[in-house]
A and B are shown apart, each in its own frame.
Chain A
Amino acid sequence: MSKPTDLVQGTLDLLILKTIALGSMHGWAIALRIRQVSKDVLQVNQGALYPALHRLEQRGWIEAEWGESENNRRAKYYSLTKSGKKYLQSEQANWERLAAAIGLVLKTA
C-alpha cells in the first residue's frame, strides 16, 4: 500500500462530525479514532485537526467544554450541537450518494 490517501477537501469536517456523534471527545481521541476505524487508511494530519475543530465550533455545529481526561488532565471535549446533527445527516446522505455514483461509474464504464 502506498502513502495513506490524502483526505478529500471538506471530508475532514464530515469525519470529525461523525466521530463525535457517538459522544463528546477531545482532539487526540478524535484523531486516534478516525485512524483506527479507517484501519489506518485515513491518517488525519494531527495538527490540521485543530483549525478544523475551531472552524466547526465557530459555525455552531459543535460545541466545546473543558473536562477531565482519562489520565486526570484538563482536556477540551467537543460534542455535536442540534444543528450539527442535522448538518451531519444531510452531508452523510450527500456523501453516500456521491460515493455510490462514483462506484457505479467505475464499475460499469
Chain B
Amino acid sequence: MRWLKSISNRLRNLLRKDAVERETDQELRFHLERQIATNIASGLSPEEARRIALLDFGGVEQFKEDCREARGVNRIESLLVDLRYGFRALRKSPGFAIVSVLTLALGIGANTAIFSMVNALLLHPYNFRNLDSLVRVWEDRGIDEGYDARYIAPADAEDLRSTNSVFEGLTTYRFQSFGLGMEGDVQPILGCRVSANFFNVLGITPSAGRLFSPAEEQPGADQVAILSYGTWQRRFGGDPQLLGKTISLNGRVYTVVGIMPRDFDYPVPVELWVPLAFTPAERADRAQLSLNALARLSTGVSVSQARAELANFSHRAGLEYPKTNAGRSATLLQLRKELYIFTLPLFLLLQAAAGFVLLLACANLANLVFARMIGRQREIALRAALGASRGRLGQLFLSETLVYSTVAGMVAIAASFASVRALRTSIPVSWTKWVPGWDGIRVDGNVLAFTILAALGVGIFLGLATMLHTSRVEPNKTLKETGTVTRAKRRVRSALVVAQVMIALILLVCAGQTIQGFVRLANVYQGFEPASVLRVELSLPEKVYADNVKITNFYQQVLRGAASLPGVQHASLVTNPPASNVDNETTFFSIEGQPALKAGEAPSADLQIASLDFFDTLKISLVAGRAFSDADNTDAARVAVISRGMASRFWPKGKALGHRIKLGAQDSTEPWLTIVGVVGDVRQNWWNSVTRPVIYKPFAQAPQRSMTLLLRTTSTPTSYATGVRGVVRRADPAIALRAVNTLEEEIADSIAIVRIMGILMGIFGLVALSLSSIGVYGVLSESVAQRTHEIGIRLALGANPRDLMGLILGQALKLTGIGLAIAVPCAVAISRAMASLIFGVVSLDFAILVGFTVLLLLVALGAGYLPARRAIGVDPVVSLRYE
C-alpha cells in the first residue's frame, strides 16, 4: 500500500501546491526562529543571533527547491510545463509545425492504412471460434495440383471422420452452381453442398431458423436450403416470413430452413447452402477425389500430431485399398496458413514499404528538428548555464517531439478513416469478394492502438535522437560562439542524408520492380489474343442432363446458335479459359511404349476439354499437325492436341504427332489418345510461374456439364450478351448464364491485387523520392548557408566561382554516393527475396536499379546546385557580414 500512499502524496503535492509550499515555508521558518531564540538565549544580540542561524542553515531557497524535488513534484510539474511549451512552440512557428506534422502524419497514416489491411486479412480473416484449430484436409496424389484442387474421396473422408482421434469434427463440402427460379426467370447462383455438421465444425449458428440435421444427408430428404444474409436481402427483399417457404433450384423445390449471419460467407461468398446427400454408392467412392474437407483439431492436438495421424491413416488405406489409395497421402494445412500463402508476402512487402516511408519521414523531421536546434543552441546553452540538467533538457526535447508526433498521430487517425475506405473500395468487388476478411478492413481498436503506439514511438525516437544530438552542450563555448556548427553535429546530419538516400533507393527499386511486375503480368497471358472475346459460363444440372448425348446436343445447339449471331467469328467451348483464377485439372498420363511408372513418378499434365473452334477463337497458334475437326466424334478414334511445352518435353526430337497417350496408368481403362496436333503454350493463371504441359481433348469425345462458352466477335463483346442469352434460352430455358463478361475484363480482374499493390508501391516510391529530395536539399542548403561566410572570404580572396561550385557539389555527391553504395547491395538482396516471395512475378532488373541510382544522384546534384548558386551569387561584402 506504500505506493498508493506515495501516489496520493504526490497528487496532493501537485494539486494543493500552494498549501504544501506554505507548509514548507512555515516549517523552515519555525526552525530558524527556534535557532534564533536559542542563539539569543546563549547571549547573542538579536541581529547576531539571526545572522548565525541563517549561516548555519544554508541557502534557504536552494533547500526549498530540494524539498520540492524530494516530494517528486518537479518531474510531473515540469513535464506539464514542457508540454505547454511544446504546444506554444508549435503555435509560434506554424510553418515548421505544419511541415513536420504533415510529414509525420503521412508516414504514420501510410502504416495505419496498411496495418488495417494486415489486421483484417491476416489477423482476423474469419470470425470463427478458435480459428487456429481449423484445418483444411485433403489427399495428395503426389503431383502438385494447385491450391484449388485439394480434394478428398468421400469414403476416405467418412473413414477419417469416424476413426480418427485428432479431430473434434470433420466436415465436407462441394461447390455447385444452381439455377434459381424466380418468377419465370432463372438466375444463376453459386451454392455449396455441405455435410450436416458443416456449420457446427465452424462454430456458426444461423441468425434465423435452424441448421441441417443428419437425416437431411439422405437423397430425397435433402431438399432444404440455408440462405446467406446477402441473398435473403437482395433476392427476397429481406422477407421476414421466408423461413418455411419454398424456392426452386435447378427445377426442384427446396424449403428455406435457415438464414446465416450477415458476415458469414465461408468457404467463399456463396448464395446458399444445401445438404450434401449421397447414395450408398457415392458414399463408398474411393476413386474420385471430389470433396473439400475441413476439420477442427481436438483441444490440445497440434498440427504436426494431426499430420502424423493422417499419414498413418493414408498408409493403412493404401494397404487396404491398393487399387485406389496407393500413393495417396492425406495432409492438412491450417485455414489461416492457407490464406497466408497468397496474402502474407504481399502484405509483408507493403507493410515494410510503409515502415520505410515512416523512417524517411522521421529522418526528415529529425533533420528539421536538428536544424532548429542549431538555431536554439544559445537558448539551450543558457538553460544549461542556469542549471538545467541533461535529463531536464532531454525531457524538454522529448515533450516537444511528443507534442508533434501526437498531433501527427491524431491527423493520421482522422485521415485513416478516409484512406482505409478508399483502400477498401478501390479494388473491384469481383476480386475482393474472394478475399476473406476484406470487408473487415476498417479502423478498429487494434488499428487505433497501432497508430497511437506508432505516434508515441516516433515521438520518443525523435526526442531521444535530439537529446543525443545536443547532449554535449558546453554553455561556456556555445554562448561565446557565433552560431557555427561543430564537426560532430555536421556528421550526424550527413549520416541522416546517407540514410535517407539509402532508404529512398531501396524503396524506389522495390516499387519499380512491383510496378514492372504488374506490367509484365498484364502481358503474361501470351499465346492468345484476349481482345474482342466474350466469355459465358454455363452449367447443366445433373438430374436433367444425365447422359452425354443430352449434354452434347445442348452444347451443339448453343454453339450453332452463337456462331450464327451476326458479328460472331468463332464460337467454342473450353473447360477452363485462361485468367480464370482457377488452376487446370491435373492428370497423370502414360506414353505408349514407355515403361509403366509408379503413381508418384508418372508424368502429369493439365487437362483441358475444348470444342472445334477453340484454338481459332483465342487465336492460339497451331505448331504442327491439325486442330480438332468434325470427324473427331464419339464414333471415331480418340484424339488429343497437346501444347508445345508438352511436345518438346516428352518428345524432344519433335516427333510427338502420331504417338499415343493414355490418361492415368498404362493398365487403366482409359482409351488411348492419338496426338494429332501441337499448339502454342498458353499461360493459364498469373501465379503459374512455369507453363505446364497441357492435353486438349475434343469436346465431342469427352462432354462435360460445366463449360465456358467463348465468342470471338468483330465489335464490342458485351453487346452480344443479349444474343447469347436468347440462344441459350432457345436450347433450354431452365439454364442460367453465369459470369458474362469479356476476357479482357477477366484478365484485368485476375491481376487486380497485383495492380493495387503496384499502385500502392508506386505511391510509396513517389513519397519516398520527394521526402528524400526534401531531406537532402534541406541538409545541403543548410550547410551551404552556414558556409556563406567562408564562401564570401574565398570569393573575396579571388577563388574561382566554378571551383567553389565544384566543392559544394562534390560534398553533395559524396554523401549521396555513400548512401547509394550501401543501398545498392541491399536493394539487390531485397529484390532477390521479393522475387522468391511473390510468385516469380518480380525479378531483379538492373535497368531499374541503375535508373533510380542515377535519378537520386541527379536529385542530389540539384539539391546542391541551387543553394550553391545562391551563395556564390551573393556579393562578398554582404556575405562577409553574414552570420
Contact = CB atoms under 8 A, between A and B. Distances in A.
Interface of A: 26-28, 31, 45-48, 50-52, 54-55, 57-60, 66, 69, 71, 73-76, 83
A58 B6 contact: yes
A52 B70 CA distance: 7
Given A28-B34, A47-B63, A58 B72 contact: yes
Interface in B206-247: none
Contacts of A26: 27, 30-31
15 contacts: A26-B30, A27-B30, A28-B34, A46-B31, A47-B63, A48-B63, A50-B66, A51-B66, A51-B70, A55-B70, A60-B2, A66-B23, A73-B33, A76-B30, A83-B2
B63 A74 contact: no
A76 B71 CA distance: 16
A51 B623 CA distance: 97
B635 interface: no
A48 B58 contact: yes
Contacts of A71: 34, 37
B5 A60 contact: yes
Interface of B: 2, 5-6, 9-10, 23-24, 26-28, 30-31, 33-35, 37, 56-60, 62-63, 66-67, 69-72
Nearest to B65: A51
Nearest to B9: A58
Nearest to B66: A51
A43 to B, nearest CB: 9
Given A46-B58, A48-B58, A76-B23, A28 B67 contact: no
A47 B5 contact: no
Q: Interface centre among A27, A45, A46, A75, by most B CB within 10 Å?
A: A46
Given A50-B67, A76-B23, A27 B31 contact: yes
B6 A59 contact: yes
B58 A28 contact: no
Contact of A74 (B30, B35, B58, B70): B30
A46 B54 CA distance: 10
Contacts of A28: 30-31, 34-35
A33 to B, nearest CB: 13
Nearest to A61: B2
Nearest to B63: A47
Contacts of A51: 63, 66-67, 69-70
Nearest to B33: A73
Given A48-B58, A50-B63, A54-B71, 7 more contacts: A27-B31, A28-B35, A50-B66, A51-B63, A60-B2, A71-B37, A76-B30
Contacts of A46: 31, 35, 56-58
Contacts of A59: 2, 6
Contacts of A57: 9, 71
Nearest to A52: B70
Task: Identify the 4 closest CB pairs spanning chains A and B, nearest first.
Answer: A47-B58, A51-B66, A55-B70, A54-B70
Given A27-B31, A48-B63, A50-B27, A58 B2 contact: no
B73 to A, nearest CB: 10
A76 B30 CA distance: 9
Nearest to A76: B27
A88 to B, nearest CB: 15
A51 B57 CA distance: 13
Contacts of B67: 50-51, 54
A47 B28 CA distance: 8
B826 to A, nearest CB: 51
Nearest to B20: A54
A58 B9 CA distance: 7
A27 B26 CA distance: 12
Q: Interface centre among B24, B27, B33, B59, by most A CB within 10 Å?
A: B27
Contacts of A54: 24, 67, 70-71
Nearest to B28: A50
A58 B68 CA distance: 11
A55 B27 CA distance: 15
Nearest to B69: A51
Contact of A75 (B2, B9, B30, B57): B30
B26 A74 contact: yes
A51 B59 CA distance: 12
Nearest to A45: B58
Contact of B57 (A47, A52, A66): A47
B777 to A, nearest CB: 52
Contact of A27 (B23, B27, B70, B72): B27
Contacts of B6: 58-60
A28 B72 CA distance: 23
A31 B28 CA distance: 13
Contacts of B5: 60
A54 to B, nearest CB: 4
Contacts of A58: 6, 9-10, 70-72
Contacts of A66: 23
A59 B5 CA distance: 9
Contacts of B33: 73
B333 to A, nearest CB: 58
A46 B551 CA distance: 109
Given A52-B70, A60-B5, A73-B33, A47 B60 contact: yes
Contacts of B30: 26-28, 69, 73-76
A71 B33 CA distance: 11
A40 to B, nearest CB: 13
Contacts of B57: 46-47
Contacts of B71: 54-55, 57-58
Nearest to A55: B70
Contacts of A55: 70-71
A45 to B, nearest CB: 6
Nearest to B3: A60
A55 B23 CA distance: 15
Nearest to A30: B31
A53 B720 CA distance: 94
A83 B6 CA distance: 13
Nearest to B58: A47
Contacts of B24: 50, 54
B458 to A, nearest CB: 34
A30 to B, nearest CB: 10
B24 to A, nearest CB: 8
A6 to B, nearest CB: 14
Contacts of B60: 47
Nearest to A29: B34
Nearest to B53: A46
Nearest to B64: A50
Contacts of B34: 28, 69, 71
Contacts of B10: 58
A89 B58 CA distance: 31
Contacts of B72: 58
Contacts of B63: 47-48, 50-51
B735 to A, nearest CB: 85
A78 to B, nearest CB: 10
A72 B257 CA distance: 91
A51 to B, nearest CB: 4
A46 B56 CA distance: 7
A60 B8 CA distance: 11
A46 to B, nearest CB: 5
A46 B23 CA distance: 18
